[in-house]
Amino acid sequence: MKPWKIGTSYAVAISPDGQRLSTVGRDVSMWDLRTRSKIWRASPLADPACTVFSPDGSTLAVKGSSGHIIVADVKSGRRLVDFNNMTDGEGSNLRYSTCGEYIVDATWNGRLMVRTAKSGCTEFAQDFPDEMIQSIHRSADGKMWVIVHACKAISDDAPPAPDYFSLWSWPFRSGEFRVLPERVAFSRTSSLLPDGSLLAVVHGAPPENLSVFQLSDGACVETVAIQSGGTGHAIGWSADGQLIGSVQDNVVVFYAWPSLAKCHEIELACPSDLAYSLRGDVLVLGSWEEGWVMSQKAPDAMNLPR
Cβ contact 5:292 at 8 Å: yes
Listed residue (258, 170, 158, 246) closest to 214, CA to CA: 258
- For residue 303, the model assigns a pLDDT of 67
DSSP for 288-306, please give it. Answer: SS-EEEEETTGGGG-S---
- For residue 299, the model assigns a pLDDT of 61
Q: How many C-beta atoms surround the C-beta of residue 24 within 10 A?
A: 24
Distance between CA atoms of residues 199 and 218, nearest Å = 9
291-295 β-sheet, strand order? 4-7, 291-295, 282-287, 271-276
DSSP for 117-149, please give it. Answer: TTT--EEEEEE-TTEEEEEEEE-TTSSEEEEEE
Our CA dihedral for 164, 170, 174, 180, rounded to 10 degrees, sits at -20
- For residue 148, the model assigns a pLDDT of 98
The residue type at 130: D
Query: How many Å separate Cα 236 from the centre of its chain?
Result: 8
Which parts of the chain register pLDDT below 70? Answer: 298-303, 305-306
- For residue 297, the model assigns a pLDDT of 81
- For residue 232, the model assigns a pLDDT of 82
Cβ contact 244:200 at 8 Å: yes
Q: Which domains does the chain have, with CATH numbers?
A: 194-306 (2.130.10.10)
List, in order, residues 6 or more apart from 34 with CB less than 8 Å away.
19
Query: How many Å separate Cα 11 from the centre of its chain?
Result: 9
Convert the pLDDT of each residue in 80-138 to its tens digit.
999 999 999 999 999 999 999 999 999 999 999 999 999 999 999 999 999 999 999 99
Listed residue (236, 232, 235, 261) closest to 249, CA to CA: 232
What is the three-class DSSP state of 81?
A: strand
Our CA dihedral for 197, 198, 199, 204, rounded to 10 degrees, sits at 150
Distance between CA atoms of residues 66 and 86, nearest Å = 7
The residue type at 86: M
Task: Determine phi and psi for 88, rounding to 5 degrees.
Answer: -65, -40
pTM for the model: 0.95
Listed residue (203, 126, 131) closest to 161, CA to CA: 131
- For residue 99, the model assigns a pLDDT of 97
